[in-house]
Amino acid sequence: MHLLLLLSTLLVVAAEVPPCDPETQYVQNDQCCKKCGPGTKMTSGSTCLDPKCENCKDGEYRDAYTILDKCLLQPYCDQNKNFEVPVKTSKTEESTCVCKQGYTCLSKLCVTCMQHAKCGPGYGVQSKGNHTHDTLCRPCPDGTFSDETSEADKCKKRTDCVLGSHIKREGTATSDNICEQTLSRHVRVIILAVVLAASVVIVLGFFLVYKRKGKKTNSKADTEDCEEASLQEKPKIDHPTPDPDPESFISEAQVSQEEDMRTPVEDMEEETAIPHLTDNGNYVTEEYGKEAILSRQESQTTTIPSLIEL
């Protein structure tokens, strides 16, 4: 009976208390009072419905609503423990320390930093480490090798022996191939000299052909230029047509008249006549059927009648 009375009393008291938001409010004297927000603290002089809130200082934070008058300190990232100094911290949440380059955190809260693991000979780096996970190593596959200890280098490809050499000793996961020259040094020098000599001969041949072709082209051009210049410089000579001498020939009318006056007997005599001499001792040139033609000097002094008498 007493138990029932106690339970009923508690139910009545609970029903009289108003409901409050447990995140942003607190109960005081049966009232829902306000809290200070994240990044602040409550100062003196605050009332239930009008709290006096103040921002947290640098290096402090408050990540929830509060009625406390102090902020929380940010974690100290000690450089002597291989932590990096935070560039900027938040006042509403806790900062996380970060390990410096080459180190990784051992836990989620990053309380301790550990140096990255290094891959030894025969192993290469598969993934580089950072501040959240360590370096991951793997064995070198066939055809590759690693002969050093490193936290960043991958396995290297083995050397391929070039022409004129062969593998003297095949490499392993920790060593490279060792090559040996197949030909002796003297043979290699001779082959190199022959190749160089052939190259020089080919180059000189091309040079001489090009030079000879250039000379032919230049000489041909010079000849054409000289011919053109001689044609341009050669003066034109005008040959005057000689004026006909009126006394050097007998007009066609006089010849025609003389032919009409001649007889057949005279023609026959002319065919068998002996060349006559002029007064000056020159021969008279005669043609069959034509009048005798005197020399030019005597034709100037001899008259037509005298020619007919002859």
Residues paired with residue 83 on neighbouring β-strands, in sequence order? 99
Query: Do β-strands 31-34 and 53-55 pair in parallel, antiparallel, or remain unpaired?
Result: unpaired
Domain limits of the chain?
15-73, 252-309
- Measure the CA angle with vertex 66, ends 65 and 68; round to 5°: 165
C-beta neighbour count of 152 within 10 angstroms: 13
Written as tens digits, the pLDDT of the chain (310 aa) is: 444 555 555 454 444 555 889 999 999 888 999 999 999 999 988 999 999 999 999 889 999 999 999 999 998 889 899 998 887 788 999 888 889 989 998 888 888 899 999 999 999 999 999 888 899 999 999 999 999 999 889 999 999 988 878 888 999 999 999 998 876 666 767 888 899 999 999 998 888 888 777 666 666 656 666 566 555 555 454 444 445 444 444 444 454 454 545 544 444 444 444 455 555 555 554 444 444 444 444 444 444 444 334 3
Which amino acid, one-letter code, is at 56? C
15-73 CATH, one of 3.30.70.580, 1.10.260.30, 2.20.25.160, 2.10.50.10:
2.10.50.10
Residue 286 structure tokens: 């005669």
Contacts of 35 (CB under 8 A, 6+ apart): 24, 25, 26, 42, 51, 65, 66, 67
Report pTM.
0.42
